[in-house]
Structure 1
Amino acid sequence: MKINNKFIYSSIFSFGLIFGSLVNHIYSKEWNQNIPSLSMSTNSEVCDVAEMSHTIDTEPKNLFSEKIRQPLSNGTTDDFSHKSIADINYEEALNNAMTLTSEYERSNTIGKLLADWASLDLDEAFEWLSNQKYTDELDPYFYHLIAIYIDKDFDLAGDLITMLPGGHSKRSLADEYTYKLAQSDPYLAINWSENIYENDIRQNVKRQLLYSWVDSDPSEVLNYVLSDSTISNEVREQVVKTAAARLSEEDHHTVISSIAQYPQEIRPQIAYGLIEQWIGKDANAALHWIESLERSPTKDQAIQSYISYGNSTSNRTATFALAESIEKESSRIALMSQVFEQWYFDDPNNAEKALSDSTSLNEEQKTLLLGKARINSNFL
């Protein structure tokens, strides 16, 4: 018999955490029951969540592991392996399972019962789970049940994910849901992510979304990150670098000619991404372009990219001079050290001469760089 159901959701703010409960769960057998909202717990994590988590670029896992789904044979009164799954009173069985003192036995029993119940009636299984006080131990089961909803009722799954407390399951499910939603409409996925209360999860979802989107439309991503003020600076910088690198793969000349059209604050990241790709095609042309730039954060980022991704063996003198022109002292010393160590290993005499002639380092800094290079060269 086909069951008609609908859910109406509400969100509850509790110490900065949104959670909601399913209410007015109506079945064709005219059964109706309110579901209390979940509450946070500081219980220590007892399930191996890492086993159950997965990344955005994979398809949803099977709902429960083979280990959990194996029939129990512990000889306890809670052993249901001899019964047909349709004959079990799951609510009673799960309530009994929650009282088991053994973590392993409790986890396996709850996992098997929820898996079997969900195969018969996903809504009732989820309702029972929602009625329990939220703990880290129960968190993985929310993941598995909502993963079924992602396949069976995509819109409902999105609502359930936003209402979960900010545990491991919410992180994994949010990534997966956004990835699937973005396949049809990236902007719709971004709008959905705004419903996630936890800022760290929301930022991570946006990061993953933008990284996947940038492969198909880097120009649009660049325009978007400029318009969304809610994106963290860290995410914006990384996405702009990636977008510029993708555009440079297609035509670095277009990136060069258009870089001045972008706002000043993202030009350094565009230059970084441009050089990252350009250097593999024509390192000399990339070097000459960098040398033609005026001293600025844009030039500094281009230099950093050139040194990080380039093979500087052909022009160590020019590369060392580039590193020495970096404006920020900590970055300048780090890049000079990187270039000098590589140079010293291949050509110690000329490397030492360049270091000695440097005007941007004091004698103490020169001594430290030389000593470090000598030590490292002995281990190479």
Structure 2
Amino acid sequence: MKILLLVIIGLSLSVGISIGQDLTLKLNPVGKSAQEKNYLFDKVIDSRVQQSIGQVYDSQRNKHPANFGGKLAQQALAFYNARIITTQNPSYKLQVKVYNLDLKEAYQPDLRGYKGEIQLSLGFFLLGENEAVHLVDFNSKAKYGRPANQMNNVETSIQRLFENSWEYFDAWLSTQYQSNRSLAKKVRLNILDPKRPSSKDTVFYDRERPLTWDDFTDSPNRISSYNATIFSSLSIEGNASIEAGEIVQTIEVKVYMLPGQSWVKDADDYANNHEQRHFDLTRIAANRMIERLNSMELEPNLFEAKLNDVYLDAYREMNLLQEVYDSQTKNGINKEKQSNWNKAISKALSGDMDSLEKLLDQ
């Protein structure tokens, strides 16, 4: 976001700033009364290539470079912080980066003086644990006129530009802190895991709707040694919104099987139970993922990466459960092991993971 302001400083008859070969400028931190704010300025970076902001003329029309003696960043930091009284635990730590500060003057014979224009361009950034986050830019210019033997309006114009930059940022922050994601201080998860209607293409997990062989519509793999195969999986999707300065991340959990990638050769109740338990294990992996999500403390910066890690961990756990289940039951052939897993899975679906954990330890 950019803004262009125009400040016009009239001719001044006050005593001018005496200059030598260079005109050394200074930002004066003393100004308006400080206001209590929930932020602080931690750093100002002068990213300009040239220290000189341009040239000014003396009464003999000699040119003199104008600069801040290499102290623009230091003076700007003091200037900004003099405008505020920071609360005890400020919510935001800020960095300002000065992109450009440029001065141009031209002699006006009819006025026997000079007209000048100063342009300021800078950016405000939010500091945190990682890289600084860009918030907003400020671009403005000030025009002034001055007698040939006086320099006051050069410094006064620059002072006004920096004053305007702070006022602009402060006004921007007051309108953004409740709706701008970069300024959010908290993350709240809204996890949705509703019952979903199934279709011929997708069967969503529902304990009240067990699988039937009609859900296995793919043609059997005749060369496979397996009697049946089920394709079950879990997924998450969602979106984030900002509510009263808080990121609300909605996550929809889906546990499903795909009939078109699931098949059976010899259909009977025993085999159906074995495949149902595969589906149950996918549900258990999803339940454990939800538990981890609900217990997480998330920071607004890069919280999506943590959510993605939790999902990938759940996906790997799902695959591990399926592999160990088939390995121990010999794909359902070992009826004693199958019975043990039936009981452990039923308990795990009710929240008791002890029996399943013991089987995994084996």
Structure 1 and Structure 2 fold alike (TM over 0.5): no
Task: Give the number of the structure whose alpha-carbon radius of gyration is greater.
Answer: 2
More strand by share: 2
More helix by share: 1
Structure 1 length as normaliser, TM-score?
0.22
Instruction: Specify which structure has the bigger relative contact order, considering alpha-carbon pairs within 8 angstroms and separated by 6 or more residues.
Output: 2
Structure 2 length as normaliser, TM-score?
0.23
